[in-house]
A and B are shown apart, each in its own frame.
Chain A
Amino acid sequence: MSNERLVTVTVNGERRSALAEPRTLLVDFIRHGLGLTGTHVGCEQGGCGACTVVLDGELALACCTLAVQADGATLQTVEGLAPAPDRLHPLQSAFQAEHGLQCGYCTPGMLIAADDLLRRTPDPTEQEIRSHLSGNVCRCTGYTGIVAAVQTAARNLRAQATETRGVTAS
């Protein structure tokens, strides 16, 4: 397409460029342009949260954002969550331990939204968890395992933080 232009983003710490039309949705750019297919599309209507990513530090629905709007921006997707190829992020481990996923389709968006919550609110109440995740639909789990997973992850992350502080102090 003649009206394609180069869009450059820093995604999960890596600088990446790919072509996009002015109308290309950010979610299509991420999935097909950058090949990061962990971010999913559930509606393209802003109604399900499956496409949730972090855009310049804020949660964003990648189906309601154009790729060109993200030119020069910093993005985080589910692929950037785990600290190492052979280690899961505490949220990811907690989702497995608490059976917070079934088909796994909502999971990337859910993890990104939950991570955002725990960065801001390390010790959330159940109500805070539920309201923060209310834009993310899961059709499989009934949310019971998801809420439990976020609680578990919050506990583990706080314990980790205390440990790290302890180590630094000694």
Chain B
Amino acid sequence: MTTRYVGAPVLRVEDPAFLRGRAAFIDDIAPPRCLHAAFLRSPHAHARIVRIDTAAAAALPGVHAVLTGEDFCDELPFTTTIATRPECKTGTRRLLPLDKARHVGDPIAVVVADSRYVAEDALDLIVVEWQLLPVVTDPEAALLAGAPLIHEELGSNDFAHITFTAGDPDGVFARAPRTFSKRFHFGRTHAAPLEGRGVVADWDATTGKATVWTSTQMPHLVRGMLAGQFGMPETSLRVICPAVGGGFGLKVQLFVEEAIVPLLSRRLGRPVKWIEDRSEALGASGHSKEVVMDIDLATDDEGRFLALRGRYVGDGGAYLAHPWTSLIDPLCAASFLPSFYDVQDLAYEVRTPFTNKCPSVAYRGVGWTPGQAAREILIDEAARALDIDPVELRLRNAVPDGIPYRSATGASYDGGSFQGAIRRALELVDYDGLRERQATLRAEGRYLGIGVSPFVEQGGWAARIAAVNGFPGFAYLDSASVSMEPDGTVTVAGGFQSNGQGHETTMAQVVADALQVPFESVRVLQGDTDTVPYATGSYGSRTAVVAGGALLRASGDVRAKLLRLGAHLLEASPDDVELVDGLIRVAGTPSRSVTIKQAAAAAYWGPRPDDLDPALSATRSYDPPETFSNACVVAVVEVDARTGQVAIERLLVVEDCGTIVNPLIVDGQVSGAIAQAVGAVLLEGLPYDEHGQFRAATLADFLFPKTTDLPSVEVDHLETPSPVTEGGFKGMGEGGLIGGPSALVNAIADALVPLGAGASVVRTPLRPCDILELIDAARAAV
């Protein structure tokens, strides 16, 4: 078989619709007679609801309903979080709270009206009498005895307390020649897709069937969870996912609004739409990545890593996100404590308390991002103390390239280019030249910093990778289908859900090669549970691996039938024919051939072998073995010691995601994730004050990285195909936001070393004011 499309920079087929403004996003779904919902959200971090008066709001012309927690009392509680491990508590919540608000932005009541304008007018007329309660916003404080309880019925704020030990870390630490420790507080971030969340629902009471349009990354999981919530068969619920204006993991949870809006439609007998506004998105959807970490490293005098210990306290916020829970940050961070460094003695401890803040949810790179930042900044500090170049120190401890390796936390790496990616990155940035330039500039009073952050990342989140990350106990069913139509064109369908990754293009590339048909003849369907086979969605760098693998298998089944059909037409043995470039031909006698189109037509209209089931369609699934991509990020920055401003000079990534489906898309994913790393380190933070008041409710407070905040991202590829997955795909998409922040943090710390502030970098974000504070403190200490 010849490969023509996989690996080629095929232009995206989805682009013209977006470029012309013709793509339909959730707010473009407008069923006739649609009503509009708006939520009243708590202005307080923690407050008992004494009384809610909705009379004036309900009396406003154009208002159809004003509902509070009382009105949903007969509904099942929302999301009974299934403890995937015995260490976890089981938590539930109501659709709307009856008792109290647990964070600023907690939905308290909902209005349905003729227009969003009127619905928001009505919100202003709802009167709530509150009784303020003590607030806890610091995750470590939330774990202390006597802390205000967010969920009284659980008895404490401690959702999960997980410990793990491999080998004898304490013994090794006691004997080790050198030990290093670092406390690092990774700040809150927000996935903040440019399109927020949104739901449109149309519940037909006469048939008992409902259609829910939602901006999600997992239509089938939403269907299953909502069907359970509503007590209806999955076949009565249709979930349609229109174009998704970015997800980045935020849209891999089921949100309470996705359950409430369909119930509003059922109650009112009309379609209802809710579109999140930016303030709701910032304060009431989900925050991510805030983890307080203490990392210890033991080495010998030559810098060989001997043991690692990590303590991770995540900030779970007020509610458990469904289905991943707040463990998605600290537990994923802990699971990758050793990265690709050869350390077999280690221990970690994970906690993730509830606080009076927005719930913690998945965001690209989940806890791998903060975990990488804490470990890698400690390694840079150890390198300085040992007087070894930080990159050399990493190379000394990296697992060799291309061999399988089992990490102390139980991950089975399928062979990467851990060292190769570092070496390639050094070469591309001219590392030695950079260090020289740094020295020259320092002599002039200019502060250049270089941060090198190599990493290994999981690809293809499914049963085995989930277990490696500490989420055992579930299998995953991700299926996809391939059907050849009578004219030889191909329909691909699957429950993957593109939210910018271009799956209509990449999945078509995979199938076009597997069936040796023109790319243009393959169309890809997704986003409708009524028409595509079941899958759990697109998240966790999984679609190339999981859906790509399922499609390779399904294509293989269809190909086998085509070969039999072709052989029958050619009056040859199926063993003697091959499929090449749209032709089925007798091997060795290329002049004897039929086209795939002829073979397809023969399946439908004959002639065909009597004993062949002619259906040219196959649905297959794939729950892949563990696979891991790797990469190395280099950041070069200059810190202005007078203003605290960080100017980014270069951002370079050498990545290896195994077999590349589409380099254009891989580059785009890397660049986008790196920009989000810039946001996480230099701009975000999502502060809460001591009363739990949220201080970043507008885009004047939450700063997106803009065109002027970063240079063009340079991307280079190594390709070490996975020996264990279908097609050799390893999966990618998150890495820039796993390795990017630590590269930037280390670059800034490196720049601050001559100012005496290198080791005082202990948290993100590092905005100009934060950096000036570090410099001033270092000066004051002299």
Contact = CB atoms under 8 A, between A and B. Distances in A.
Interface of A: 21, 23-24, 31-32, 36-48, 50, 77-79, 81-82, 88, 92, 95-97, 99, 101-108, 111, 126, 129-131, 133-148
Interface string B655-692: 00000000011011111111110000000000000000
- Please classify how large the interface on chain B is, using the bins under 10, 10 to 19, 20 to 34, 35 or more: 35 or more
Contacts of B17: 104
Given A48-B278, A95-B15, A134-B706, 5 more contacts: A31-B28, A96-B19, A105-B246, A106-B194, A142-B668
A140 B195 contact: no
Contacts of B718: none
A96 to B, nearest CB: 4
A138 B194 contact: yes
Contacts, number: 176
Interface string B1-41: 00000000001101111111111110110100000000000
Contacts of A44: 277-278
B107 to A, nearest CB: 19
A139 to B, nearest CB: 5
A137 B500 contact: no
B91 interface: no
B24 A37 contact: yes
Interface in B692-707: 698-700, 704-707
Closest 7 CB pairs of A and B: A38-B21, A47-B699, A104-B18, A105-B245, A142-B675, A103-B500, A102-B500
B191 to A, nearest CB: 8
B434 interface: no
Contacts of A78: 19-21
A87 B705 CA distance: 33
Nearest to A21: B117
Interface stretch (B154-162, B316-324, B545-553, B708-716): B708-716
A21 B18 CA distance: 30
A101 B712 CA distance: 15
B27 A79 contact: no
Nearest to B118: A1
A135 B278 CA distance: 16
17 contacts: A42-B195, A43-B278, A44-B278, A45-B278, A48-B194, A79-B21, A88-B16, A97-B11, A101-B18, A102-B669, A106-B194, A107-B19, A135-B706, A139-B194, A141-B672, A142-B672, A147-B707
Interface of B: 11-12, 14-25, 27-28, 30, 117, 192-195, 243-248, 277-278, 499-502, 664-665, 667-676, 698-700, 704-708, 710, 712-713, 736
A77 B21 CA distance: 9
A46 B704 CA distance: 13
B25 A105 contact: yes
Which of B14, B245, B676, B708 gathers the greatest number of chain A CB atoms within 10 Å? B245
B383 to A, nearest CB: 29
Contacts of B675: 139, 141-143
Contacts of B18: 101, 103-104, 107
Contacts of A141: 668, 671-672, 675
B139 to A, nearest CB: 27
B28 A37 contact: yes
B707 A133 contact: yes
A39 B698 CA distance: 21
Q: Which of A96, A137, A143 has the most CB of B within 10 A?
A: A143
